[in-house]
A and B are shown apart, each in its own frame.
Chain A
Amino acid sequence: MSAVLRVAELNAAYAQTIDSDRLESWPDFFIEDCLYKITSADNHKRGYSAGIVYADSRAMLRDRVTALRTANIYERQSYRHIIGLPLIGATNPSGIAAETPFLVARIMRDGRTDVFATGVYLDVIRDDARGLRFAERVVVCDSRHFDTLLAIPL
């Protein structure tokens, strides 16, 4: 299978995991020593290092899921990810580089559906015996505005 199809399949599984509320499985898409960050195009362009989510280990991703399940308060909501085709870049020892556009609609408890975020995933994907996993997933949202709050990961 081509890299494009393999990465597209990975993204499809990633989206299904989040959108069907199986967040406990979400960290499994990452290697242990990963980077997951949510930022905006403006922040990314300026080289600002902080994100609104910044996790540099899979354990931190699991902690985020634990917090969302047990500690944080937010209205019931779900996402629908629409993920475009990946543009495959260079492959080097750290993995395959890919850039993939996404659109996420958010469906609120009261039935309201809005476009919550659009942007690109900037990925470095490890390809080893365990299949494809994210070494890095930097979520670059097109807008730096976030409506109300961001609970569920993008």
Chain B
Amino acid sequence: MSTDTISPDHASVSNLCWPGDLTRVPFWAYRDRDLPKLEQQRIFEGAVWNFLCLESEIPDPGDWRATVVGRTPVVVARDADGTIAAFENRCAHRGALICLDDSGRGAKDFQCVYHAWCYDLRGNLRSVAFQRGVNGKGGMPPGFRVQDHGPRKLRTTTLHGLVFGTFANDTPPIEEFLGSDVLARFDRVLGGRKIEIIGRFVEVLPNNWKLYAENARDSYHASLLHLFFATFRLNRLSQGGGLTVSPNGGCSVSETIAPTEAVDRSYDGMRSAADDYRLEDLRMIDVVDEHLDRVRHQIVTVFPNFVLQKTQNAMALRFFTPAGVDRTNLEWIFFAYVDDTPEMRKRRLRHLNLGGPAGFVSMEDGCVGGFVERGITTAEDGAAIVEMGGAGVESQPTRATEAAVRGFWSMWRGMMGI
């Protein structure tokens, strides 16, 4: 992806002017080179709950995992008393990473490799090598106190085995942040269940992270871009379902209900309905109604950059972080219930062909953001039209709406002050 693109000459956020209401999204919002720094401060380190890891990744004291909050490196660790701590992965001394690997087990403490400054499992600076010098020479001044220094800490919370963290003091409890409707969908998939990771892959997207945040909230595109469902008659907008947006606008649920079967003419004439294709191996779609609600497809988004997905019997977390203004790392964490029968586990592996970087109904999401980036290369004064389903951000009993995309922008604008 080229990085020498021209961005509008906005010296500061005060010059960024949003054109009208939420039905228009200015293209500079994806390309402006000043925005990533502001988004880091105001969004990722603002009053949001950032996904950190699964509790099952750090089951015992001393277990830890390194991740990022936006672009800030962070360590999540299980302390001796079982609580989960999180702190910035940056040594107080020279700023080097404290933890170099992705994860570890049974650590007693963390030691920066550069000058051996040592931290406890909560990220408190405990000791400084040669603090008193060597043979009475050198060392820190007498007034230097380790307790005055250390990485920034996050508050953590857990929800059904998922760990979230926030840098802000005023972030509401996660249940309130999500709202009752979104929370209910977490309960549906995760409530009372023990989960384990069964696969983890990163898809590197050639686009700004917000294009993917929108895509995950865009129930309108699902059966138009992803022709696999339509080709094999698995998902159509005329099928039952709907879109729910959280009170804060930033979180959403899109659902599809299993078809009751009747001839569906809503796609007649579109390229997706040209032929009647049938799968040879129907085990790709042999859905078991695990929650007894006929919901076949549920996408839950959490502001700013997290998705919980259940498609048929496949389950995934998606966690996407900016790796540059026009580059995003999309992490797919495939998971299953610990108490799955062998048959159900096999079924999930087959159904996971629908998701991930090679997924039958997700691979297009990997490239479509790049198509937008390339399309808007010189269109800094232009804007996207986001008007399906009106101008509001309310829940709607249809998926032919962009209400959740507008909800994302309403929260983004509120936090950014734009």
A85 to B404, CA, bound (A): 52
Could you tell me which residues of chain B, from 187 to 233, have a CB within 8 Å of some CB in chain A? 197-206, 225, 227-228, 230-232
Q: Does A118 contact B (CB under 8 A)?
A: no
A149 to B329, CA, bound (A): 12
Question: A42-50, A93-101, A126-134: which lies at the B interface?
Answer: A42-50
The docked-state distance in angstroms from the alpha carbon of A107 to that of B363 is 18
| A50-B198, A59-B281 known; A67+B204 contact, CB < 8 A | no
Residues in chain B near residue A150, CB distance under 8 A: 357-358, 363
CA distance A59 to B353 in the complex (A): 14
User: A21 within 8 Å of B by Cβ?
Assistant: no
A51 to B355, CA, bound (A): 10
Contacts of A59 in B (CB 8 A): 280-281
Q: Are A63's CB and B280's CB within 8 A?
A: yes
Q: How far is the CA of A63 from the CA of B349 in the complex (A)?
A: 16
| Cβ–Cβ contact B349 & A148, under 8 A | no
Q: Is the CB of B201 within 8 A of A144?
A: yes
Select A63's contact among B198, B272, B281, B329, beta carbons within 8 Å: B281
Are the CB atoms of B349 and A50 closer together than 8 Å?
yes
Within 8 A of A (CB), among B276-316: 277, 279-281, 283-284
* Inter-chain contact A60/B284, CB cutoff 8 Å: yes
Contact flags A42-85 to B (C-beta < 8 A → 1, else 0)? 11000011111111110110111011001111110000000000
Establish whether residues B367 and A71, one from each chain, have CB atoms under 8 Å apart when the complex forms.
no
Selected from A42, A70, A147, the residue in CB contact (under 8 A) with B275 is A70
Interface size class on chain A is 35 or more
Contact B227 A73 (CB under 8 A): yes
Contact yes or no, B281 A57, CB < 8 A: yes
Find the residue from A42, A145, A146, A151 having the highest chain B CB count within 10 A. A146
Q: Are B367 and A73 in contact (CB under 8 A)?
A: yes
Is the Cβ of B358 less than 8 Å from the Cβ of A71? Answer: no
Q: Known: A56-B346, A71-B227, A148-B367. Is A49-B199 also a contact (CB below 8 A)? A: yes
Indicate which residue in B277, B356, B360 contacts A72 across the interface (CB closer than 8 Å): B360
- Measured CB to CB, the closest approach of chain B to A54, in angstroms, equals 5
Q: A151 to B204, alpha carbons, bound, how many Å? A: 14
Tell me whether B360 and A71 are in contact (CB under 8 A): yes
Is there an interface contact between B364 and A54, defined as CB atoms closer than 8 Å? no
Binding site for A on B (CB under 8 A): 197-206, 225, 227-228, 230-232, 272, 275, 277, 279-281, 283-284, 329, 332, 334, 345-346, 348-350, 352-353, 356-360, 363-364, 366-368, 370
* A-B CB contact pairs (8 Å), 11 listed: A43-B200, A51-B199, A52-B356, A53-B358, A60-B350, A71-B277, A72-B364, A145-B201, A147-B206, A149-B203, A149-B357
